[in-house]
Amino acid sequence: MTKREFLPVSLEECRQRGIGQLDFVYITGDAYVDHPSFGTAIISRVLEKQGYTVGILAQPDFRDPDSVKALGEPRLAFLVSAGNMDSMVNHYTVSKKRRTTDAYSPGGEMGKRPDRALIVYCNLLRRAFKKTPIILGGIEASLRRLAHYDYWSDSLKRSLLLDTGADMISYGMGERSIVEIADALDSSIPVGEITFVEGTVYRTDSLENIPDAVRLPDYQELLEDKKNYARSFWIQYQNTDAFSGKRLAEAYSSHCFVVQNPAAKPLSTEEMDAVYDLPYVGKAHPSYDKAGGVPATKEVRFSLTSSRGCFGGCSFCALTFHQGRIIQARSHESLLREAQHMTKEADFKGYIHDVGGPTANFRHPACKKQFMRGACRDRQCLFPKPCKNLDASHGDYRKLLKSLREIPGVRKVFIRSGIRFDYLLAEKSPEFLRELCGYHVSGQLKVAPEHISNQVLELMGKPRREVYDAFCKAYEDTNQKLGKKQFLVPYLMSSHPGSTLGEAVKLAEYCRDLGYMPEQVQDFYPTPSTLSTCMYYTGLDPRVMELVYVPGSPHEKAMQRALIQYRDPKNYDLVLEALKKAGRMDLVGYGKHCLIRPPKGEGKDASRGDKERQFGNGGGHLPGRSGRRAEGSRERRDGEMKKPGKKKTIRNVHKKKK
């Protein structure tokens, strides 16, 4: 087998390979890891397969303007990505505190990339290379391709295309669009005339020759009224599908428009195999060895990506905007080849850490029509309940896992990328759950119910609590039959839109009854281009334009988080304050149902039921200092919103109109 080599990272390495001038220079905010879990590696190898030369300029010193000149001027274009994560999410927690480590940098060192990395890198490039085309890609560009809410500045930002001065954005996964862009540039087509590639965003000074573009509200209109942003976002959401999506146009002035072409078509199984069969080294560049390597590679190095895309439709997830709702899967043969290659690595210990994708048990499109006509515009596959056309069979996934288990040298195959439990239950056969518990769980299975309040779950786009309860019982019964003691570890989210303090208390009571205090709780993080972020910013559910309660202040968010971790002594004051505000002082006392004991000096009388409800308003609270709401918000009673009419319920909005 031919030795696999890293792509050149210096002019000296280019000279050694006989490259006088690179076709593309790829600037990335991550360390250089030549593994298909990293977008930089995939796009670069795809271009290399097409005969183009690519050099990697990883984490250039953004404080030094000359750093972007290290590989010289490329013949065709600079490709620029912030890396596998949005640079602001990479740098800041949901409370906007600076993180101390960066898993995508050598040794986990923080500070190797700038905030708003794409803007900084492009500004440096434009100073050094005035006319060289700049193509943006990766998650940061993909989710900021049109006007978007920016949590860190609490403001509405323009398309990243305008703030960076780049020529084009390749959004989504990018394999199709980058080859079309490269071929067009190689054919001497000016970058300003490459307006025909699916999966791209470009700037134009006129819409005269684009008659099919759907006009979004102008940027100024978005600034003037948040309702316009909610409407604009819902139009974008309905046009994410590669088959049915329309061309969109957003005006910034009478002579400045940003146009989003429809998404690129999903890859076939053969095309997916071709992408993942490229000659990746599978490791971080050896120049990082002295620093201890790149932490993010530890889990993915011996993991297998079997699919991409997700039809789960969670409101807080951006996958609909980035990878789309249509599942694209690799063949068993391709995955088995990669697994067999792993077993030959000197440090392989016999464990495949994961076999999955955004959702592990999604291995084929939700229904037969999706690869011909796309995903439905007016309904979801699993929400509010599984579609009658849903193909929930797990037979292909079971066969794949069995084949992987039988590879010589493989001791255990884990599934860690997440199981969609409502999809699992939608299959009538119990075989997959039996094999999951029997072979692919190591004591604990992580699942994501996210919340237990049906009001909040409905806004999250998640299955109702009864569905999760049914899964818990099925999981327990299956393990009992197998003679195994294995547990579920639920991921829970606090402060999602719709979650009042009353709803947060219900979640705390659930943890109490479960006898479980999560070590980590995910506060809702308003990242660009999600339905939930739109709710957070506007106070409206864009699906039905109904008002939504938003716990927006840092203090209320801290209280909701503390309630879930009520057993932690350092959270005592916050929990007590939250229970007072929620009118739930019945949970302060010495009884088994209580969350915390009374403050010192108040004795056992402090927990006497209804006498203490004077501290709150019956399970919730009105938006005030500790909450955000849209102007004109209705009153909430007992922690619940008034029920919307039949014509505007979220569960009706996805029903096909007769």
pLDDT in tens, 61-113: 999 999 999 999 999 999 999 999 999 999 999 999 999 999 999 999 999 99
Length of the chain: 658
- Cβ atoms within 10 Å of 409's Cβ, excluding its own: 12
Q: How far apart are CA 218 and CA 228, in angstroms?
A: 9
Q: How far apart are CA 75 and CA 97, in angstroms?
A: 41
Q: Which two tokens stand for residue 113?
A: 């990339």
Q: In percent, how much of the chain has pLDDT > 90?
A: 85
> Confidence class of residue 3 from pLDDT cuts 50, 70 and 90?
confident
- What pLDDT, on a 0 to 100 scale, did the predictor assign at position 268? 96
**Alpha helices per DSSP H over 35-110:** 39-49, 87-91
Yes or no: say if 538 and 226 are a contact pair by the CB < 8 Å rule.
yes
pLDDT tens-digit profile of 177-195? Answer: 999 999 999 999 999 999 9
Q: In percent, how much of the chain has pLDDT > 70?
A: 91
Architecture of domain 302-441: 2-Layer Sandwich (3.30)
Q: Report the SS3 class of residue 149.
A: strand
- HSE on the CB side for 157, CA within 13 Å? 23
Give the residue-averaged pLDDT of 45-71.
97
pLDDT tens-digit profile of 407-455? Answer: 999 999 999 888 999 999 999 999 999 999 999 998 899 899 999 999 9
Give the type of residue at 179: V
- What pLDDT, on a 0 to 100 scale, did the predictor assign at position 247? 98
pLDDT at 332 over 90: yes
Q: How far apart are CA 391 and CA 299, in angstroms?
A: 30
Residue 393, Cα to own-chain centre: how many angstroms? 25
Q: How far apart are CA 655 and CA 658, in angstroms?
A: 9
Give the type of residue at 139: I
Q: How far apart are CA 183 and CA 181, in angstroms?
A: 6
Give the type of residue at 312: G
> Confidence class of residue 604 from pLDDT cuts 50, 70 and 90?
low
- Cβ atoms within 10 Å of 309's Cβ, excluding its own: 26
Q: Which two tokens stand for residue 619?
A: 């399970």
pLDDT tens-digit profile of 118-138? Answer: 999 999 999 999 999 999 999
pLDDT at 312 over 50: yes
Find the helix or strand (DSSP H, E) in which 57 lies.
Answer: strand 54-58
> Confidence class of residue 603 from pLDDT cuts 50, 70 and 90?
low
Predicted TM-score of the model (pTM): 0.89
- What pLDDT, on a 0 to 100 scale, did the predictor assign at position 2? 60
Q: Which two tokens stand for residue 270?
A: 């053969």
Give the residue-averaged pLDDT of 532-561.
96
- What pLDDT, on a 0 to 100 scale, did the predictor assign at position 549? 97
Yes or no: say if 35 and 302 are a contact pair by the CB < 8 Å rule.
no
- What pLDDT, on a 0 to 100 scale, did the predictor assign at position 4? 86
Q: Which residues pair with 177 in a beta bridge?
A: none
Residues with Cβ within 8 Å of 641's Cβ and at least 6 positions away in sequence, in order, are 455, 498, 546, 547, 548, 549, 634
State the average pLDDT for the chain.
Answer: 91
Q: Do domains 11-202 and 302-441 have the same CATH topology?
A: no
Domain boundaries along the sequence of the chain: 11-202, 302-441, 443-658
pLDDT tens-digit profile of 612-640? Answer: 333 333 333 333 223 333 333 333 333 33
CATH 3.30.110.40 fits 443-658, yes or no: no
Picking from 410, 444, 241, the residue whose alpha carbon sits closest to that of residue 339 is 410
- What pLDDT, on a 0 to 100 scale, did the predictor assign at position 235? 97
Q: Report the SS3 class of residue 14.
A: helix
Give the residue-averaged pLDDT of 32-61.
97
Give the residue-averaged pLDDT of 10-32.
97
Higher-scoring residue by pLDDT: 619, 564: 564
- What pLDDT, on a 0 to 100 scale, did the predictor assign at position 600? 82
- What pLDDT, on a 0 to 100 scale, did the predictor assign at position 514? 86
CATH of domain 11-202: 3.40.50.280
> Confidence class of residue 393 from pLDDT cuts 50, 70 and 90?
very high
